[in-house]
Structure 1
Amino acid sequence: MGTTYSVKLIASGADFSTASLQKQVDERLVEINQQMSTYIPDSELSRFNQSPAGNWFPVSQALADVVARAKEISEQSDGAFDVTVGPLVNLWSFGPDNRPEKVPSDEAIAAALANVGDAKLEVRLDPPALKKSRDALYVDLSAIAKGYGVDQIAQLVADSGAQSYMVEIGGEVRAVGRKSDGSLWRIAIEKPTPGARAIQEIVELSNQSLATSGDYRQHFVEDGQIYSHTIDPQTGRPLPHPPASVSVLHADCAAADAFATTLMVLGPERGYNWAEQNKLAVLFLIRGADGPVVRRTSLWPQRGE
């Protein structure tokens, strides 16, 4: 996943083994990477992306389940969330291809768009398999697989007997129970300032997941214009005025991860309205002349101190 992970827990029982749990965590993360990474040439997903169109391609149950969930969110968001956006992500220099950071031509964008679209991807759960209608279809699960990884590691920790724990992968978090002093897990949301680290807000989590998507780390600048890594699958281009970041609270981290990206694509106005309609707890940080403008949906908790 190209990032770090952290697990904190309150162990129960004298026979609890941190080393045994870490071994299970590492093995599960390697497995998920081998299933869903676009950076590993022989991963399940990479082999599907390289396969010809028209035939069912057998995959693991995990990969089929994640693609099925992604397609549900794509339908729910009228295509704002689309895991087939991979050709555009690569074209705009944000994928594994290491392309130079530059604005592509209109012709190149149109050519990539022809291979993008959730309707071009099918999933079958039993037996698990994927199918595409175009050879160049390229699935990129980076906006949901990390959250899925958090959910999977959280389940491993729960199965170990821990009733209070916090799992974090690359900033996506799930927290259950309370810390040893009885307080809730406190998670900081970063101020969206390029090149700096500062806290914007603190959220107390209990039996919840938190995911954040932002454009202040992954972007490039050309002729004074900022181009974000979040691509609108409808236009084939980064949003001209996206939120600086979107944070989502949800029961599971895979959904929080996907919804955060969805709301970045929808933008601060459409995204806010869509989040309210879908009863999501969301914090929008929108660029302002004097720093980020904060906008919370009605289900977002009161600000912590």
Structure 2
Amino acid sequence: MNKSSLLNFKSVLAMTAVALLALQLSACSKPVEAVKISGPTMGTSYNITLFPAKGVELDSQSMQKSIDESLKAINQQMSTWIKDSEISLFNQSQSTDWYPVSAEFAEVTAAAQEISKKSGGAFDVTVGPLIRMWGFGKDFTNNNPDQASIDEAKQNIGYQKLDVRLSPPALRKQIPQLQINLSAIAKGYAVDAIAELVAGMNVSSYLVEIGGEIRANGVKVNGDLWRIAIEKPSTKERSIQQGILLKDTGVATSGDYRNYVERDGKRYSHTIDPSTGKPITHQLASITIMNDSAMIADGFATAIMVLGEDKGKAFIAENQLKAYMITRDKDGFSTWNNFPDETFIKP
């Protein structure tokens, strides 16, 4: 090979090496895209956004199948809308002996009972008969109950009339008529359960949302925190009250502005105060709670929604909760919160 040919050959090798390096750099710099999975569940919807671990290609169809199967199982345990669900069968039973249940069912009920004790009964899983009586259950009615009916129903509610055992998992009624409803905590539990499921699927970070209850883990692939919005509690239009940033936490909101009925020009919230047997009437419109567990945040939010603004603030302080309150006033809405400043998205 002459000198000229040798130089040309070396030039070709050099250009080939540069081209290969460019291809490698291009492959390395390919942005990691978020995987999004969504579907119906619990009378609402779920939305999951996640980023794969480094070098992992996720099978979203397989992931969705696992997620749907898990949510179906939770529904079969805790939905009062399913006639043969675990909770429905327990409610139908008239036995006052220990009633065997799944470990998950017992776990959620035990957590609910703990929140009931802490809130002095403001949160109460036995309030289901009153919820139905006011027209918010599957047996819809468009008439307000009279006081005699409310008083009679109150005789058959009370979290103190329910015993929970974790090992072996079982529940026990102290009166045969007792029924339970986990709707105020089950979505939060489902968020936690799906978050744990997703965490084992080779992901680096995720955001799980079911019906507005949320659990966030890690940060986005570009280092940004997760962004969500607290909704303005208006019945007329949907708009954002406040944007917040999340990392490694659960969030749940309870309010009186989405699930309600109107009768004779008066609006009735779906949140029932167990002490009165009637829908809440105070000015607290929305409460958002941050907690490591979306289930616990869900339960605490419901309890505070029953307590109202003043008692709710005392409860927040006593239990060292992170909270964001929106209250109705003569000018529209006012807010109070104890979230860290760095939580808020600046305008």
- Separation of aligned partners in 1, 2:321 and 2:225: 21
Q: Would you say the 8 A contact 1:242–1:265 is kept in 2?
A: no
In structure 2, the residue matched to 1:240 is: 281
Shift of 1:285: 0.6
In structure 2, the residue matched to 1:25 is: 67
Q: Does 1:264 align with 2:295?
A: no
What letter corresponds to residue 232 of structure 1 in structure 2? D
- Separation of aligned partners in 2, 1:122 and 1:303: 41
1 or 2 for the larger relative contact order (CA 8 Å, sep ≥6)?
Answer: 1
In structure 1, the residue matched to 2:255 is: 214
Q: Deviations over 1:21-63 (max 9, x none)?
A: 1111000000000000010000000000000131211110000
Shift of 1:14: 3.2
What is the TM-score when the length of structure 1 is the normalising length?
Answer: 0.96
Q: Does 1:87 align with 2:101?
A: no
| 1:41-190 mapped onto 2 (5 Å cutoff) | 41-100=83-142, 102-190=143-231
Q: Would you say the 8 A contact 2:56–2:202 is kept in 1?
A: no
Q: Deviations over 1:160-185 (max 9, x none)?
A: 12121000001101111111221100
CA-based RMSD of the aligned residues comes to 1.4
The number of equivalent residue pairs is: 304
- Separation of aligned partners in 2, 1:48 and 1:55: 11
Q: Would you say the 8 A contact 2:245–2:344 is kept in 1?
A: no
- Separation of aligned partners in 1, 2:342 and 2:136: 33
Does the C-alpha gap of structure 1 residues 24 and 264 become closer, same or farther in structure 2, counting only changes over 3 Å?
same
SS of 1:213's equivalent?
strand
What letter corresponds to residue 61 of structure 1 in structure 2? A
Q: Would you say the 8 A contact 1:275–1:297 is kept in 2?
A: no
Q: Would you say the 8 A contact 1:282–1:299 is kept in 2?
A: no
Does the C-alpha gap of structure 1 residues 84 and 270 become closer, same or farther in structure 2, counting only changes over 3 Å?
same
What letter corresponds to residue 76 of structure 2 in structure 1? Q
List alignment gaps of at least 5 residues for structure 1. none
Q: Would you say the 8 A contact 2:254–2:302 is kept in 1?
A: yes
What letter corresponds to residue 288 of structure 1 in structure 2? D
SS of 1:164's equivalent?
strand
Does the C-alpha gap of structure 1 residues 223 and 297 become closer, same or farther in structure 2, counting only changes over 3 Å?
farther
- Separation of aligned partners in 2, 1:222 and 1:35: 33
What letter corresponds to residue 61 of structure 2 in structure 1? A
Q: Would you say the 8 A contact 2:243–2:344 is kept in 1?
A: yes
Shift of 1:300: 7.5
What is the TM-score when the length of structure 2 is the normalising length?
Answer: 0.85
What letter corresponds to residue 139 of structure 2 in structure 1? D
Shift of 1:299: 5.6
Shift of 1:273: 1.4
Shift of 1:222: 2.9
Q: Would you say the 8 A contact 2:103–2:166 is kept in 1?
A: yes
> Which of the pair has more CA radius of gyration?
2
Shift of 1:234: 1.1
Q: Would you say the 8 A contact 2:134–2:145 is kept in 1?
A: yes
- Separation of aligned partners in 2, 1:14 and 1:73: 40
- Separation of aligned partners in 2, 1:256 and 1:298: 14
Q: Deviations over 1:220-278 (max 9, x none)?
A: 22344321111011111112114111100111100000011000000011001110121
SS of 2:62's equivalent?
helix
Shift of 1:142: 0.5
- Separation of aligned partners in 1, 2:167 and 2:61: 36
What letter corresponds to residue 144 of structure 1 in structure 2? I
